[in-house]
Structure 1
Amino acid sequence: MAGHSHWANIAAKKGVIDKKRGKLFGKLSRAIIVAAQHGGGDPGMNLALRYAIDKARKASMPKENIDRAVKKGCGELSGENFEELVYEGYGAAGVAVLCDILTENRNRTAGEIRKIFEVHGGNLGSTGCVAWMFERKGLFLVPCENVEEDALFEIALEAGADDVSANGDVYEVTCSVEAFQQVADIFEEKKIPTNLAEISRIPDTTVDLGVEDGKKVLRLMEALEDHDDVQSVTANFNIPDEIMAEVTAD
């Protein structure tokens, strides 16, 4: 299982998102604010805002929180000005790590993210050091128990997806950024549930990890995810199925 969906599955199974629901709402609000700042407050005309709002709704974020974030982005309510950044670095065994950041203080955030990398056996790198290893794509994780592979394959490809593949107990569907909303709409129309639906960074190659390096990388990923300014974390690791249980036992 490749790193882009690997971490998403692990995070879901370990309850990383549910344990940090309050923190998650704060991150989702930031994404909505920035999307509204850049493209206006109408999700029908602003796909980035529509995507951010859909993601917030799937996380059960209250409507009033969503509306307040849109108003802040449109300047109707006062709020912080967030800067969009991408921090790049390396984890154990040379694993490439990308962090999408929204921050109101880049100096503070840079210091805190650098410290997280160092504590977990990695290091923060310079701009461009690992970004070239990743490609932005739409990514959906569909539970295998909810749909037959042949049916999903037909629906996804007709909607504009590039590929459908089985990874453990989920099907991984990828598409271009441009086709993301169309595929998402078709899945909703066909009532196909997803564990994950997001625009992600897909690695070109992955690094196979053993038990010890696997544990170090997962601890780094969790620590980065826990930071308020981090919107998403992507890495190019792969943990073979035969040692996955041992790596995630803690």
Structure 2
Amino acid sequence: MRALSLRLVFQFQTLSFRASSSRPITLFLHRNNNNNLLNNKSSSLTPPFLDTNNHSRVRKIWTFSPLCMGRRSSKIAGRKEAQDAKKAKLYSRIGKEVVSAVKKGGPNVASNSVLAAVLEKAKELDVPKDIVERNIKRASEKGQEAYIEKIYEVYGYGGVSMVVEVSTDKIHRSVAKIREVLRDYGGKMADSGSVMFKFTRCRVVNIKVTNADKDQLLNIALDAGAEDVIEPPTYDDDTEEDRSERYYKIVGSSENYSSILSKLREEGIDFEPDNGSELLPNTTIEVDDEAMDLNKEVMHQLLELDDVDAVYTDQK
């Protein structure tokens, strides 16, 4: 019997390996004399397509460890990495706002009210001073354009909606990258307005449940004029470790946000600020374990893009 040919072509994004990274492998499956594929099982996530050059079936698979379907495995994976990524996104977003403000009105804070407001927000959110200064200098560099803020709306798995916030100096680049992620990991770009009405924009402070109790936060929120304190979600299979990694959310407005932060500092409570605002879902959708893990992977890949500042979802 004639041997079937199997050709693996590796496409590496970088030469260095990271435990959390994933790299695509393009798998070419050639037909034998009976016109049968070596592997003709179809995939609902990465459907095969036809290579017009050699008429072979092509599949794209990924070299990360298989997703562990189940709420517990999804919840405990990469917590530290997620927190570091969130902080990096905050610094990146403030940096872009600094660049745009300087581009519009110059580096003089006294005459540039937009820059003054951005610097005040950076101070409020504890953004390091060197990041601000570096981006003020960067704004004067030749060829550096102002950043434009865009919002893209996405349908995920299981009826879940997502909102992708972008700050970019190249619109065509950012939308092309987002479409590439959705093509490779699932999801569908939605029409403008199809998703946004499901969310409300607020100022939010995130407090780990181990750093304060609900009654304490309610008193702080009441004193500061906050709108609400949202308790973290719970699941039937939660462990003590799971619960300890959850966050309360104090919901406020631009007017009382500084007051909320000040009172938390006075009480010695550690917190994580938002990146200028957050979108909170009006209602949440509960999906099965598989859809939940797939949606989290889509969000993770979107957040890996430099132009993407935040991704919000109504998934519970």
Shared fold, TM over 0.5 = yes
Seen in structure 2, the aligned counterparts of structure 1 residues 189 and 40 have a Cα distance that, compared at 3 Å, is farther
Question: Letter of the aligned partner of 1:213 in structure 2?
Answer: A
What residue in structure 2 maps to residue 110 of structure 1? 175
User: Conserved in 1, the CA contact under 8 Å of 2:165 and 2:311?
Assistant: yes
How many residues align? The count is 224
Q: Is the 8 A contact 1:209 1:237 kept in 2?
A: yes
Alpha-carbon distance between aligned partners in 2 of 1:38 and 1:186, rounded to the nearest angstrom: 34
Bigger fraction of residues in helix: 1
With over 3 angstroms needed to count, the CA separation of the structure-2 counterparts of 1:116 and 1:211, relative to structure 1, is same
Aligned to 2:291: 213
Asked whether the 8 Å contact 2:302–2:308 carries over to 1, the reply is yes
| Cα distance in 2, alignment partners of residues 10 and 135 from structure 1 | 28
Tell me the CA shift for residue 152 of structure 1: 1.9
What amino acid is the match of 2:282? D
Task: Rate the CA distance shift 1:187–1:37 in 2: closer, same or farther, 3 A.
Answer: farther
Identity over aligned residues, as a percent? 26
- Out of 189, 195, 201, the position equivalent to 1:130 is 195
Higher alpha-carbon deviation: 202-211 or 143-152: 143-152
Q: Shift in Å at residue 112 of structure 1? A: 1.2
Paired residue for 1:244?
none
Residue number in structure 2 paired with 1:51: 121
Q: Which one is further off, 87-96 or 45-54? A: 45-54
Instruction: Name which of structure 1's ranges 24-33 and 130-139 shifts more when overlaid on structure 2.
Output: 24-33
Identify the structure with bigger relative contact order (alpha carbons < 8 Å, sequence gap 6+): 1
What SS class does the counterpart of residue 237 from structure 1 fall into? coil
Residue 194 (structure 1) shift: 0.9
SS in 2 for 1:207: coil
Bigger shift: residues 14-23 or 205-214: 14-23
Indicate conservation of the 8 Å contact 1:29/1:66, yes or no: yes
Q: For the residues of structure 2 that align with 1:237 and 1:53, how far apart are their CA atoms?
A: 32
**Which consecutive residues of structure 2, in runs of 5 or more, have no partner in the other structure?**
1-74, 233-242
CA separation in 1, counterparts of 2:89 and 2:200?
Answer: 27
Q: CA deviation at 1:110?
A: 0.9
Q: Is the 8 A contact 1:53 1:66 kept in 2?
A: no
> Hey, what does 2:210 align to over in structure 1?
145
**Structure 2 CA distance for aligned equivalents of residues 10 and 138 of structure 1:** 27
TM-score (norm 1): 0.76
**Are 2:186 and 1:186 aligned?**
no
Asked if the contact 1:56–1:66 (Cα under 8 Å) also holds between the matched residues in 2, the reply is no
Map of 1:5 onto structure 2: none
Residue in structure 2 matched with residue 234 of structure 1 by the alignment: 312
Map 1:83-122; keep pairs closer than 5 Å. 83-122=148-187
* Equivalent position amino acid for 2:100 in 1: V
- CA offsets per residue over residues 134-192 of structure 1, 9 Å max, x none? 11101112122222322221112211211123324432211123322322232223322
Q: Which amino acid aligns with 1:190?
A: E
Does the CA-based 8 Å contact 1:143-1:170 persist in structure 2?
yes
Shift of 1:91: 0.9
| 1:246 matched residue in structure 2 | none
Gapped regions of structure 1 (runs ≥ 5): 1-8, 239-250
Per the alignment, residue 223 of structure 2 pairs with 158
Q: 2:303 is aligned with what amino acid?
A: E
User: Do the aligned residues in 2 keep the contact of 1:201 with 1:234 (CA within 8 Å)?
Assistant: yes
